[in-house]
Amino acid sequence: MTVRVERRDAVAVVTLDNPPLNLLTMALRAQLTELAGDLAHDDAVRAVVLAGAGGKAFSAGSDVREFPTDPEAGRERSRLEHRCYDALAGLPQPVVAALHGHVLGGGLELALACDLRVAEATARLGLPEVHLGVFPAGGGTQRLPRAVGAGRAKELMFLGATLDAAEAARIGLVNRVVDAGQARDAAIALAEQIAGRPAGAVRAIKTAVDSGLADGPRAGAETEGRLIAQVFGSYDAREGVAALLDKREPRFEHR
């Protein structure tokens, strides 16, 4: 297995383990797709961390030895890549990427499918596919513009440029920058904080934001209305209001 998962209470830590660079083979993507399907139905998991094993890379991208030369095979490969990244992005739980070393090509596309990104100061991020005569077709052309804006995203992909973590944070590509060797622990700590918030509200936030980004503000507003109607009737909403009025800390039960 090239994808490992461990449970830390309400946080699932998923680790890519394909040394030395955690290249994204199609077999690894299939494993990750299957695992995402399992996590999506696990209500005991309230947040997910995605990390890479070893010290060299979160993931340096696709294994170029698997690149197809036939157009139909290329189309099928893109379909399977999208299936993997969409399964991760579609998880009801927030997903935090812990980034270190090389975060390139398909590795960055995988990170972009996560909700939040924590990067070590020494990380290098980019979509360099143009240098190989191809382009990021696993969602990079769609997700990168949503993260950093269309003009900046096009420039990065046209040039195949790489960024250090500080610049990636400045343009909004990563949420937090931490010292070398600290991304995994920092991502887990952030995920644990999120997991401590009421699960219904957290999942509603993710669903409403993603709905608006995918289908526009009107669809997002309709999703907000539908979800807040459900959340207002939850135990946690009643507990949160009662705790505020009683001037005490709420005791959420994630229901």
Range 83-90 average pLDDT: 97
Give the sheet arrangement for strand 124-126, strand by strand: 57-59, 102-104, 124-126, 162-164
pLDDT of residue 227: 97
Q: Which of 109, 192, 224, 249 is catalytic?
A: 109
What whole-number distance in Å separates Cα of residue 108 and Cα of residue 127? 7
| Catalytic residue status for 72 | no
Q: What six digits make up the tokens of 236?
A: 């946690």
| Catalytic residue status for 129 | yes
Preceding peptide of 20 cis, ω within 30°? yes
Q: Which of 129, 155, 192, 224 is catalytic?
A: 129
**pLDDT tens digits, 195-208:** 999 999 999 999 99
For the full predicted model, state whether its pTM sits above 0.85: yes
